[in-house]
Chains A and B, each alone.
Chain A
Amino acid sequence: MDHKLGEEVNSRFGKRIGEALADPQIRRNFRNALDGVMAKRAEQFPDPDELWQLRNLDKAIRANSLHKLPQLLEQLEQQLTDNGIQVHWAVDGEEANKIVSDILDGRGVKKIIKGKSMVTEETGLNHHLEQLGYEVIESDLGEYIIQLAEEPPSHIVAPAIHKSRLEIADLFAEKFPDIPYTDDVDEMTHSARLILRKEFASADAGISGVNFAVAETGTLCLVENEGNGRLSTTAPPIHIAVTGIEKVVEKLSDVPPLLSILTRSATGQPITTYFNMISSPRKEHELDGPEEVHLVLLDNGRSAIREDDELDATLRCIRCGACINHCPVYVRVGGHAYGTVYPGPIGSVLEPQRLGIHEAGKLATACSLCGRCGEVCPVKIPLPQLINRIRAESNEAASDSTVRGHNSLRNQKEVLTWKLWSALYCSPLLYGLFTRTATVLRVLAPSKLGAWTRYRKAPKPAARSLHAMAARKGVDHE
């Protein structure tokens, strides 16, 4: 990866797309992986009525959380504090990173083991801690692989999805010359188990994300299959969880329907291997578990996103990745092409808001509005509608727009084109003149239309327009 995530997104987007499309290996890797994930998800929802009801319910639960967000965050803080978990608030990523390093400072911490967390990708936490001299080890197998490869994740659920088995085998061979080469998945997995076991046993602190934070009980919920999340949050003496403020839910009874749709949508599993609910640090009589548990609540643009009555739906997201898995653009360009922490449809909506249109608004152009993402979203985020809205924010935002950097992609040539288009299509007279001219002069129609004709022949106007043919055939006018 040539650049830090979230920087120069707009300016490098086209180049990254070109590079991704030119790499047949990457395209095969994504297609193979996503075909499987889509089929597994479909198997989990045999009953469309049940899916319909569950989506409506989960949408309502998430909407309720966002509606009552400030009250729920205060309740969550109170409950967690009562339970002995320390709560911290961060306006932005930099502050969140500092909170984490301040907790660790002077405690003799050397090694930090991490469970999978997209929010800490958002803040660049690993880099921050490494600069301070800490050893940071990712423990989710996918995250571990890309950490070895020094790459960012290309998918929010399956971070190493862009790599083939053979590429990973080569990477292991390069990084661990003492282990005999193998491209067998079981053997590679076993090697990783042995390596990371030592790290779990010796880590001084564990850092994780959070899938749901329950206000009612002060409970942090983590969804995973590997056991690295459990180990990171249980084995070291300190556990720090970092989460976006939108992850709060009101009641414990909100959790089962969210969990059910999350795992089925994300990986096509009825439930993940582990669902880990943490409500306090080690109690005095208990024999393991961290003595200290911290929760860092990160805003990082979320409260601003919530101000818009349409775009606030972005915050309903439960990070299942189903929109990404079903996106015909993502499957061809992969996650790195986006250059942001969150790729695909949700990334194309979230990142332009989080980073600003001036920084990442162009992501919304990489969408044919095919509607698959909205169709599979478990919490019914109208993703195509929001992508369309981001396009409007890029060019013609309303005067009271709260979106950062709105109108910053507006360019005069395009504005003029659409003004002319509007004038032409608004006037029956001009429009009639245009179609008559185009049909009469059809032989003169350009055979080259920029990029269109790199992949297709240019269409030619018909000899007569439908207007002319209908009139000639005497079709009624009114």
Chain B
Amino acid sequence: MSNQTTDTHVYLFGTCLIDLLYPDAGMASIELLQNAGIQVIFPPAQSCCGQPAFNSGFRSEAREVARKQLDCFPKSYPVVVPSASCAGMMKHHWPELFEGNRDEERAYEIASRVYELTEYLVDRLDYQPVDKGESTTVAIHSSCSALREMGVADRIEKLVGGLQQVTCVEQAYKSECCGFGGTFAVKQPEISGAMVTEKAASIRDTGAERLISQDCGCLMNIGGAFEKQGEGPECQHIAEFLLERSNGS
């Protein structure tokens, strides 16, 4: 892993969830990268990595949507994704999805340059977070994809740990799934509901002022539970949090 990157440009793959529901997380990702001197390209033809259909057992639909994305990254720049679950889909499942298919080679090639945002910041940019904010207490929830599929959950810990005015508190059962799981939340709503209810309670018990994650799916799930229950910390994507701390606002 080179800490002194020679990257001049990166592609940002914004993800469908961020596009429609959390665009501020996407813009913050772009701004963080730009502030670090990287030229960010946002291919306008992008939509979704195909994960929702893939995880529901509809692989041909997933493949068609994923295929459209392959055209978005023609140059050899890194593809930065502000979501570990979408990055995991692109890095690990695109090759599988296109196996034996005319796009197999392309899928492999793109997969090899996919980075989850915090992974990119730490591994490629050696990003040193700046903290101009007031002192605060946060809890971190890493997505299952960040923890296990991508194995990058230590990067968000490192980034938040580098903020001098921020204290990290740890919730019980920290590495356990929040219960989102894409269409799992729809197909098994009661189990998913039990999981998120307990996850929300364990985070609330820490007394943290904010919950930070690298995945908006988890934040939508846990944050939705906080709102429903009428109490809980504010939820924020790591990109927005880092940007806000560096601006001191």
Q: Which residues on B sit within 8 Å (CB–CB) of A460?
A: 21
Q: What's the minimum C-beta distance from B74 to chain A, rounded to whole angstroms? A: 8
- Stretch in B52-60, B131-139, B161-169 with 4+ CB within 8 Å of A: B52-60
**B193 in contact with A425 (CB, 8 Å):** no
Is there an interface contact between A461 and B21, defined as CB atoms closer than 8 Å? yes
Other than A372-B177, A477-B42, give 10 A-B pairs with Cβ distance below 8 A: A367-B181, A368-B180, A369-B181, A392-B58, A421-B61, A431-B47, A452-B189, A452-B224, A455-B192, A466-B42
Question: Interface 1/0s, chain B 166-200, versus A by CB < 8 A?
Answer: 00000000011101111011111111111111000
A358 to B191, alpha carbons, bound, how many Å? 22
Contact of B194 among A21, A367, A370, A415 (CB under 8 A): A21
Q: Could you tell me the distance between the alpha carbons of A371 and B145 in the complex, rounded to whole angstroms?
A: 8
Docked Cα-Cα span, A464 to B50, in Å, equals 22
Interface pick from B11-19, B105-113, B116-124, B206-214: B11-19
Q: Is the CB of A426 within 8 A of B30?
A: no
B175 contacts which chain A residues (CB < 8 A)? Answer: 372
B20 within 8 A of A: yes
Q: B48 at the A/B interface (Cβ < 8 Å)? A: yes
Chain B residue nearest to A473 (CB atoms) is B27
- B78 in the interface, Cβ–Cβ < 8 Å? no
Q: Report the 6 A-B pairs with minimum CB-CB distance, sorted nearest first.
A: A368-B181, A451-B189, A456-B224, A391-B57, A455-B193, A370-B177
Task: Find the A residue at minimum CB distance from B63.
Answer: A422
The answer for the CA separation of A365 and B14 in the assembled complex, in Å, is: 28
Given the known interface contacts A328-B177, A368-B177, A368-B192, the answer about A470 and B27 at a Cβ–Cβ threshold of 8 Å is: yes
Interface residues in chain A, defined as those with a beta carbon under 8 Å from any beta carbon in chain B: 17-18, 21, 328-329, 332-333, 365-372, 374-375, 388, 390-396, 414-415, 418-419, 421-422, 425-426, 428, 431, 435, 438-439, 450-462, 464-471, 473, 475-478
The answer to whether A455 touches B197, judged by C-beta atoms less than 8 angstroms apart, is yes
Interface residues on B, range: 35 or more
Query: Quick check: is B98 within 8 A (CB to CB) of the other chain?
Result: no
Q: Which of B41, B48, B55, B177 contacts A391 (CB 8 A)?
A: B55
Whether B227 pairs with A366 at a CB distance below 8 angstroms is no
Q: Is the CB of B26 within 8 A of A388?
A: no
**Is the Cβ of A418 less than 8 Å from the Cβ of B181?**
no
Which one of A329, A394, A415, A454 lies within 8 Å of B191 (CB-CB)? A329
B23 in contact (CB, < 8 A): yes
| CB of B220 within 8 Å of the partner chain | yes
A426–B64 contact, CB under 8 A?
A: yes
List the A side residues contacting B30 at CB < 8 Å.
470, 473, 475
